[in-house]
Amino acid sequence: MRATLTLESTIYTPRQMQLPDAPQLALAGRSNVGKSSLINALAGRRTLAKTSSTPGKTRSINLYRVTPGDFYLADLPGYGYARASHADRDAWARLIHAYLTDNPHLRALVVLLDSRLAPQQLDMDLVAYAQEHHIPLLPVLTKVDKTSLKERAQVARRWADILGTPEPPLAVSSRTGLGIAHLWRSIERFVLATIDESAP
């Protein structure tokens, strides 16, 4: 898929949550999982989403319009940033909760999982939260260029067991481009399913 991503709105508080009437997929993950780099890889641009060596850079929900297709990718604030204040972490949690649970246009949660790490409790909590609220999941292993095939396969199998799915998470690398086209196809399937369901 050759797509153009355009940053259309930035949301800092639930009161600012005026969402477009169009399908949306949200990207969520730990603060150092490589969310901004993945968005840049999806866009084919290096500087669309700001990247930083300091975790916790994304403190708002950034809505990117995808064309063609006229749907949106929502970059959610990263979680698990230890240096953030309790007040900031609570505010981000409320913002994410409002977006995920009060959004009729949300089609799936793209949960980003670091392929270098064994399943982390915060990630498992997010998966359980999504399942509890009946939000479809699209699990993605990031930074796979930094792991061996054996290490990646072990982590993927553990996540498949946790998710209760026969298929392992998608494996992607923002640096090499591995899996990016596959991820786009998976994203498109959620959007096309939405279109099919709304057809008369």
Q: Where is pLDDT greater, at 53 or 155? A: 155
Calpha distance 50→178 (Å, rounded): 21
Q: Structural domain of residue 64, as residue ranges?
A: 4-110+121-126+174-198
What's the pLDDT score for residue 74? 96
Q: Are 169 and 156 in contact (CB under 8 A)?
A: yes
Q: Are 67 and 28 in contact (CB under 8 A)?
A: no
- Is 33 part of any domain? yes
Q: Which residues contact 193 (CB under 8 A, 6 or more apart)?
A: 107
What is the phi/psi pair of residue 92, to 5°?
-65, -40
Calpha distance 46→39 (Å, rounded): 9
- Is 149 part of any domain? no
* pLDDT of 195 over the 60 cut: no
What's the pLDDT score for residue 114? 97
Calpha distance 1→158 (Å, rounded): 30
What's the pLDDT score for residue 81? 65
Calpha distance 95→59 (Å, rounded): 10
pLDDT one-digit tens code per residue, 29-47: 998 899 999 999 999 988 8
pTM: 0.90
Model confidence band, residue 136 (pLDDT cutoffs 50, 70, 90): very high
Calpha distance 93→190 (Å, rounded): 25
The CATH number for 24's domain is 3.40.50.300
Calpha distance 102→18 (Å, rounded): 11
* pLDDT of 189 over the 60 cut: yes
Q: Where is pLDDT greater, at 92 or 111? A: 111
- Is 154 part of any domain? no
R_g (Cα) of the chain, nearest Å: 16
- Is 139 part of any domain? no
Q: How many domains are there within the chain?
A: 1
What's the pLDDT score for residue 200? 46
Q: Are 127 and 119 in contact (CB under 8 A)?
A: no
* pLDDT of 199 over the 50 cut: no
What's the pLDDT score for residue 194? 60
- H-helix or E-strand containing 111? strand 106-114
- Is 49 part of any domain? yes
What's the pLDDT score for residue 1? 62
- Is 143 part of any domain? no
- Dihedral over Cα of 127, 125, 51, 174: its sign: negative
- What are the tokens at 43? 């866009």
What's the pLDDT score for residue 88? 74
* pLDDT of 111 over the 90 cut: yes
Q: How many Cβ atoms from other residues are within 10 Å of residue 116's Cβ?
A: 15
- Is 116 part of any domain? no
* pLDDT of 176 over the 50 cut: yes
- Is 164 part of any domain? no
What is the phi/psi pair of residue 38, to 5°?
-70, -40
Question: Which of 73-82, 84-93, 156-165, 180-189 is predicted least confidently?
Answer: 84-93
